[in-house]
Amino acid sequence: MPNPIPTLTLAEARRVQLSALGLLQPPAAPESKAGVLNAIRQMGALQIDAIHVVARSPYLTLWSRLGEYKPQWLDDLLSERKLFEYWAHAACFLPIEDYPLYRRIMLENTHSWWDSRRWIQEHSETVDFILGRIRAEGPLRSADFEDRRGQRGAWWDWKEEKIALEQLHTAGILMISRREKFQRVYDLAERVLPGWNDEDAPPIETVKRTLALRSVYHLGIAAGRWIADYFRLSKADVARLLEEFVAAGELLIGTIEGWDEPIYVHPGRLELLRQARAGGLEPTLSAVLSPFDPLVWDRARCRALFGFDFSLECYLPQHKRKYGYFCLPLLARGDLVGRMDAKAHRKEGRFEVKSLHLEPHVRLDDALADELIGAVQRCAAWCGAPQVTAARPQDAWIAG
């Protein structure tokens, strides 16, 4: 039987992944709250980060795909129980229909970041205090708890009460009922999802298989080494499962021209590959991306597929930064063409481009300049800082 997977060029493989992740073309119509939920379902997870230099990452990741939309819709979807928060690729907003998968991870205590159950047992006094207040008073923020010890916590200078809230959330005892000015509001899981029954959580092996298959589906095409990272699965588990998936026809194997390693394709993406091979996936979207966008969050995948060597430098000392504190990748019609360090001065209505660096292979012609100027101006206007300025003379063109 002939292989149903057409051999792709690198450009076609890029277009498949852009389409799968919702970054191929701008939306055809104005967006709605339902569009926000659909975008998160398409990605499988929306990573959360609180850095607010331009816009907080989950809001910016959605803007890159949706254009003009109301950030309040994301908050509403969480409050309406159509989303929940948990650890996936990292801390993420997740579709509520995926709660059974992650509930099993909570019950098995297999989350890779820390052993929450053990921490809870070792800090029972603090835990009892936290749970007692939430039971009596209702949903509470970390800010509603004073640091009773008068000293800083071990994680990110967190007080022990904040650590306890996070551990209880990771264990599934608490859930995030809503956010207030982006601060988490914690409540008892049984009050957030009163109808849930733990018997409905699938076995852990089913969870692993489901998330591994979904990783390939969300990526469109995936080298084997990319799959575990998407939902932070065990590499050993994924290596074992890949053989089973291929033998059962649950994944198909394809190739990219010039690559030695195979790529894996979910059968549900075959039509996307055929469209790419036939020239039907035309990239028309140009956008500013979040550093935590799923297109770039796996640095090795980004280098291999797009030739874009990206890293976030905000965690480095200033003297070690090459591009700036909070660089944002720049997507222009299917190519990652550069990065921009920017800051939104909302009170002044000004969007400051501190520096802009195009990739060495990129030639700045009028067409590309128009694409990038438009993308930056749209982003600036959405951020409430419509006046674009450039801090360096060589970047003045980006201000239009």
Query: Over the stretch 35-55, which tens digit does the pLDDT of each residue have?
Result: 999 999 999 999 999 899 999
Over residues 273-298, the pLDDT tens digits come to 999 999 999 999 999 999 999 999 99
pLDDT bracket for residue 97 (50, 70, 90): very high
Angle at 259 between CA 254 and CA 263, to 5 degrees: 30
DSSP at 170? H
DSSP at 203? P
Q: What is the mean pLDDT of the chain?
A: 94
pLDDT bracket for residue 320 (50, 70, 90): confident
pLDDT, residue 152, reads: 52
Across 234-253, average pLDDT: 96
Across 218-225, average pLDDT: 97
pLDDT bracket for residue 33 (50, 70, 90): very high
Across 315-326, average pLDDT: 85
pLDDT, residue 149, reads: 57
Helix axes of 10-20 and 204-219: crossing angle, nearest 10 degrees = 120
Q: CA–CA separation, 331 vs 203, rounded Å?
A: 40
Across 13-28, average pLDDT: 96
Question: How would DSSP label each residue in 60-105?
Answer: HHHHHHHSS--THHHHHHHHTTSEEEEESSSEEEEEGGGHHHHHHH
- For residue 31, give Cα distances in angstroms to 34, 65, 264: 8, 10, 32
**Under 8 Å between Cβ of 388 and 399:** yes
Q: Residue 125 pLDDT > 50, yes or no?
A: yes
Give the other-Cβ count within 10 Å of 232's Cβ: 16
pLDDT bracket for residue 317 (50, 70, 90): confident
pLDDT, residue 398, reads: 97
Q: CA–CA separation, 323 vs 327, rounded Å?
A: 7
Across 154-171, average pLDDT: 85
Q: Residue 192 pLDDT > 60, yes or no?
A: yes
Which one, of 229, 131, 105, 119, lies nearest residue 163 by Cα? 119
Q: Tokens representing 146?
A: 């004073």
Q: CA–CA separation, 377 vs 387, rounded Å?
A: 8
Across 330-354, average pLDDT: 97
pLDDT, residue 2, reads: 44
Q: CA–CA separation, 78 vs 322, rounded Å?
A: 37
**How far out from the chain centre does Cα 373 lie?**
25
pLDDT, residue 314, reads: 81
Which one, of 372, 284, 369, 362, lies nearest residue 328 by Cα? 372
Coil, strand, or helix at residue 256? strand
Over residues 130-160, the pLDDT tens digits come to 999 999 999 999 999 987 655 554 555 679 9
Which one, of 114, 40, 37, 102, lies nearest residue 73 by Cα? 37
pLDDT, residue 371, reads: 98
* Residues paired with 329 in a beta bridge: 339
